[in-house]
Structure 1
Amino acid sequence: MADVLDLQGIRKSYPSGAGEIDVLHGIDLRLQRGEFAALIGPSGSGKSTLLNLIGLLDRPSAGRLCIDGDETSTLPEAAITRLRGQRIGFVFQHHLLISAFTALENVMMPLLVDRGRPDAAMRARATELLAGVGLADRAEHPASKLSGGQQQRVAIARALAMRPALVLADEPTGNLDTHTADDIFALLREVNRREGTSFLIVTHDPRLAARCDRIIELVDGRIVSDRPNPAD
């Protein structure tokens, strides 16, 4: 099975008054198509830094990072931006919707950025995605009029608009009550199984991590455990 994500010897350091601060120390990680993995670890372990690198929001100080077969270290910024927009979907703890836009318009945004102008195919894709997350009847509602759980469903639909190979979810249920969090997590799982989309989910919730196929633990910038989860 093809790797959607391939990290080899990834390091990240930042300049400081006393020299450089090393945050990630030689990360090796592969994620196959269709995998549903949790990334866990204490605060300050480097999870956000690693997610930013995988999401092509930052570049590693050293190492090799491949997304869906494309090695990224030598790509110019325009190509990085295009690869990020077309191959990677993002779901955050805070949905980051445009509150004045409708649910449908928010889901269409990645398509509009990629193609430059709206068309019927874009609208059809966004409508299909909203139906898939159970919000067909909320398509024309402004995002500001939706509940927290509904807004996160719109954010999930938006993340899937470009049919990405990989979705990065950073504490996607951290802002929700337990019942709504369970519903959102079940939706991510359903998308994973239906579409074959790979997911890497950062979570502090051990209940949710235990429902993933694989649990990757990061401590002090190093992967200290990477294990399949047969209990799922």
Structure 2
Amino acid sequence: MIEVDRVHYSYGSKEARTKRSVLKGATAGFRRATMYAVVGASGCGKSTLLSLLGGLDVPKQGEVRFAGEALAAAGLAEHRRRNVSFVFQSYNLIDYLTAAENVSLATKLSPLPLLEKVGIGPDEAGRNVLALSGGQQQRVAVARALASEAPVVLADEPTGNLDEDTAEGIADILRDTAHRMGKCVICVTHSPALARKADRTFRLAKGKLVGD
């Protein structure tokens, strides 16, 4: 469904002395109805990979493709609008809206069942998101991503701010989303517990992706 083909990415210009390469020919393919975990050391390029898959950035070399078509040719904005939904590490919720209103941005259906699925009850759903704890905001961000009809879910540390029991529940929901809804779910994570829930794991090291 979505793939990176010999992708290179570095920070800094060619002239910059501090230029740092994080992806060095990374290649991998990701299928429908499958949950993936991408693991690796801090700063190795996991979030950069997610940004490239989501069309938030473009590789310096190589190609990112969705359904066989290069994102650069299809249009990055169209890809972001139709093909992917995000769970950002920093939540990226609309801070003047309630939890329910944030989820409603991604669906015409009632947001309450999805919020309840991730552990946000009716009372919390009606609160401004800034009145919620960090863990609750994380759950709202997950619910918003799952509400989208996009076939790919890209999650950056989706359980990073959650307690152990809640994190396990969110991991189960993400896996269920892949298996029951046929979505491609790609999580970058430091959590061994989340990685164990995935159908497949990739390790990003020295700029390359190595599958399990």
TM over 0.5: yes
Q: Is contact 2:33–2:180 with CA below 8 Å preserved after alignment?
A: no
- 5+ residue gaps, structure 1, are 112-121, 228-232
Deviation (angstroms), 1:166 = 0.9
Aligned residues: 209
Deviation (angstroms), 1:128 = 5.1
- Superposed CA RMSD in Å reads 2.3
Query: 1:153 is matched by which residue type in structure 2?
Result: R
Query: 1:94 is matched by which residue type in structure 2?
Result: S
Q: Deviations over 1:111-170 (max 9, x none)?
A: 6xxxxxxxxxx2x25355335445462443322333444322221121133311111111
**1:114 aligned residue:** none
Query: 2:83 is matched by which residue type in structure 1?
Result: R
Q: 1:179 to 1:132 in 2, by over 3 A?
A: closer
Matched, 1:158 2:157: no
Query: 2:89 is matched by which residue type in structure 1?
Result: Q
CA distance in 2 between partners of 1:85 and 1:96 (Å): 16
2:187 to 201, 215, 224: 201
Deviation (angstroms), 1:199 = 0.9
Matched, 1:13 2:42: no
**2:167 aligned residue:** 181
CA distance in 2 between partners of 1:22 and 1:99 (Å): 34
TM-score (norm 2): 0.86
Calculate percent identity across the aligned residue pairs: 40
Query: 2:126 is matched by which residue type in structure 1?
Result: E
Q: Is contact 1:38–1:216 with CA below 8 Å preserved after alignment?
A: yes
Q: Is contact 1:93–1:173 with CA below 8 Å preserved after alignment?
A: no
CA distance in 1 between partners of 2:117 and 2:187 (Å): 20
Query: 2:139 is matched by which residue type in structure 1?
Result: R
Deviation (angstroms), 1:50 = 1.3
* 178-187 or 162-171: bigger deviation: 178-187
CA distance in 1 between partners of 2:105 and 2:172 (Å): 25
- 5+ residue gaps, structure 2, are none
1:82 to 56, 63, 78: 78
Q: Is contact 1:103–1:143 with CA below 8 Å preserved after alignment?
A: yes
Q: 1:81 to 1:188 in 2, by over 3 A?
A: same
Query: 1:8 is matched by which residue type in structure 2?
Result: D
CA distance in 1 between partners of 2:71 and 2:80 (Å): 10
CA distance in 2 between partners of 1:136 and 1:194 (Å): 23
**2:38 aligned residue:** 39
**1:172 aligned residue:** 158
**1:116 aligned residue:** none
TM-score (norm 1): 0.80
**1:98 aligned residue:** 94
Q: Deviations over 1:85-118 (max 9, x none)?
A: 221111123322223311221012246xxxxxxx
